[in-house]
């Protein structure tokens, strides 16, 4: 069932667009009766510009209604994605080519993890990786030759 607010917004947008078109036609019809440019100006101002303004407002309302519809769709998709259908099923679907991320303690920037023994780990300052080294390579990418 569509949102009634969105339906009203669409109807209002269509109404403004149709009224704008009608004003332009009426302005052109009135302007066509006169050969004098000075006599045509009132019709241009009242019919043409006012009609164009109503059309712009109407199209803006139609675009706003469509943005709200798309926002509702995205919100429904996010709600469906955040609520698991089955608690026993693993909801973390792996993306092809993506490595599994293990949640660990935050590591300070410029530090790397080294293993002193199998049980204890420590952080020591690391030198910045050089461009093109294995530390900076990402699967499928290569450094830019300069």
pLDDT at position 67 is 94
The confidence score (pLDDT) of residue 76 equals 87
d(CA 80, CA 73): 11
What is the value of pTM for the model shown? 0.52
3-state secondary structure of 58: helix
Q: Is the dihedral of CA 27, 28, 31, 32 positive or negative?
A: negative
Q: What is the pLDDT of residues 18-68, one digit of tens each?
A: 999 999 999 888 888 888 888 888 888 888 899 999 999 999 999 999 999
Q: Is 136's pLDDT higher than 90? A: no
DSSP codes joined into one string, 60-78: HHHHHHHHHHHHHHHHHHH
Question: For residues 51 and 23, is the Cβ–Cβ distance under 8 A?
Answer: yes
Residue 69 predicted with pLDDT over 80: yes
Domain ranges of the chain: 4-80
Closest CA to 30 of 21, 45, 40, 20: 40
In the chain, % of residues over pLDDT 70? 58
Around Cβ 17, how many Cβ atoms within 10 Å? 20
Over residues 115-135, the pLDDT tens digits come to 454 444 444 555 665 665 555
User: What was the pLDDT predicted at 130?
Assistant: 62
């Amino acid at each position: 069932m569509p949102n009634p607010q969105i339906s009203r917004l669409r109807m209002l947008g269509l109404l403004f667009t149709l009224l704008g078109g009608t004003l332009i036609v009426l302005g052109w019809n009135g302007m066509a009766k006169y050969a004098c440019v000075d006599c045509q100006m009132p019709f241009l101002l009242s019919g043409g510009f006012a009609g164009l303004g109503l059309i712009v407002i109407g199209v803006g309302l139609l675009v706003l209604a469509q943005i709200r519809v798309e926002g509702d769709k995205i919100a429904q998709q996010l709600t469906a994605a955040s609520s698991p259908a089955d608690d026993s099923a693993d909801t973390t679907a792996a993306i092809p080519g993506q490595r599994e991320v293990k949640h660990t303690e935050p590591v300070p920037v410029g530090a790397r993890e080294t293993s002193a023994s199998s049980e204890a780990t420590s952080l020591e300052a690391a030198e910045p990786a050089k461009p093109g080294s294995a530390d900076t390579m990402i699967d499928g990418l290569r450094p830019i030759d300069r």
